Amino acid sequence: MTFLLVTARLIATMDEAHRTIEDGAIAIEDGAIVAVGPREEIQRRFPNPKRRIGGARFVALPGFVDGHSHAGHALVRTLGGDDFPAWRQACRDIYMLGATPEFWAAEARLASIERLKAGVTTAVAYLGGGDENNRSDGTDVATAYAASYGEAGGRLVLGIGPTRPPYPKTFARYACGVRSEVEVDFAAQHETCRRLLRDLPSGRIGVALTTPTVNPEIHCGPHFDELCEVARRMKRLALDHGAILMMDGQRRGTVEFAVNALGIVDAKTLLSHALDLTADEVRLVAKSGATVANNPLSGSAVWGRCPVPELLDAGARVIMCSDGLAPDCGADMFRVMRMGGQYHRAMLRDPHVLPPGRLLRMTTSEPAAFFGLADRGTLEAGKRADLILVDLDKPHLAPATMPLFHLHYAATGQDVDTVVVDGEVVMEGRTLLRVDEAEIVAVAKREAQAMLDRTGLRAMTATPESFWANRYDRAAYSGPHQKNSAPTRT
């Protein structure tokens, strides 16, 4: 007997033929899709489902996959206003020294429900803000974070990797309200990664590895050789376990160095941001088989351009990502797709690059395939049922004469009504079914306030004078971390 029958005004299967089905239905049994087709046909074949969801108001899509983000960010968004260097330093202080187990649990739960309510069924997140503050000092933070994240029913791929040298790095740990500090070298961080690769993956939780990006122009100090060796060792560990290796903050020069000098780039490598790549680097990415994560909402899109159309033309795979829930991003993949299209069209003065359907593939089927989730990402018989229902019965989506175009140009994450993960309905009518949303939000607020007091960063919540300025004024930024905001060199 079919467990679940989903009906919709339109089903966008995202299969290779780009098949769409008007007035369609999806039959799901034991978490797998057993049939997709016209509603009347599917209802005749499966007349007695245990449960029905959907209806003529909805468009059915595969669940979104956010292929690059950061754990911790949900409790630090907008901190410091637009002073990104100060915000970045605050993340170091918080994640390395000021984050208690309660902080990580509250952030994990809040991030998970924010994403589910925006239709993100799978998220990929570094455990921290990047290689400057990854929590790789032991397995406890990662294990607890994954458990808390999974309570709402979403899927998580947790990125684990070492901090940037020099070593050792100082981490603060909290137990029963007591703070202690530990010094952790690369060998211990490497062992943490190895143990998590072995022990953490289960159910809807997976693990990817991360390694610091090597920029030969910036990181050419006394720790350069050590940094290169860290990258090579992490790649060897990834190869030993068949894991994806992710490198954040890629830009011109770093890709060529990673490919030609380090030899660590292949079809299981994710290069995030990839700004201002040369034509040769574009070809290197395509030839290596690596995937690029484009983050059009991120502040990095202001500092440089990821050549997405050029990468696609060269045959490379690009996926669209949020870059996290802070400082100014968010889980809304409709916004990511829309901004991604507009950004690259404006840069190239071409209104036809990156059409909506291409962007939709880059947030559903293609990232699913890259992260080893090829058994989902499309709505086809035999695939696992990760899907969302988007409500067209909204003023800003009416009259939905061209539903897919309406979704791309007008929908937001708030229009996601229902979310199904592995055939389980985890949200319906925008009500989360596994967890208490109000309680999660209340605890997150409490833990954010406690973190500000614990770290002495409350001053960073003040609205800066620059908020009201006629134009950007760098001199207006004079927060408590301004003196520490310069990038560090290794």
Q: pTM of the predicted model, to two decimals?
A: 0.94
The pLDDT of residue 473: 61
Q: Which two tokens stand for residue 27?
A: 């039959």
Sign of CA dihedral 144, 148, 151, 155: negative
What average pLDDT score do residues 465-480 get? Answer: 67
Q: Which range has the top average pLDDT, 80-89, 103-112, 320-329?
A: 103-112
For 332-388, write each residue's pLDDT tens digit: 999 999 999 999 999 999 999 999 999 999 999 999 999 999 999 999 999 999 999
- For position 127, what pLDDT does the model report? 97
Residues 6+ apart with CB under 8 A from 444: 74, 75, 106, 107, 109, 110
Confidence bin at 482 (pLDDT 50/70/90)? very low
Per-residue pLDDT, averaged over 132-160, amounts to: 97
**Each residue of 196-235: pLDDT tens digit?**
999 999 999 999 999 999 999 888 889 999 999 999 999 9
Cβ 79 vs Cβ 458: under 8 Å: no
Q: Is 115's pLDDT higher than 70?
A: yes
| Percent of the chain clearing pLDDT 90 (strictly above) | 88
Confidence of residue 487 (pLDDT cuts 50, 70, 90): very low
- What pLDDT, on the 0 to 100 scale, is given for residue 475? 60
Q: What is the pLDDT of residue 489?
A: 30
Across the chain, mean pLDDT equals 94
pLDDT single digits (tens) 156-176: 999 999 999 999 999 999 998
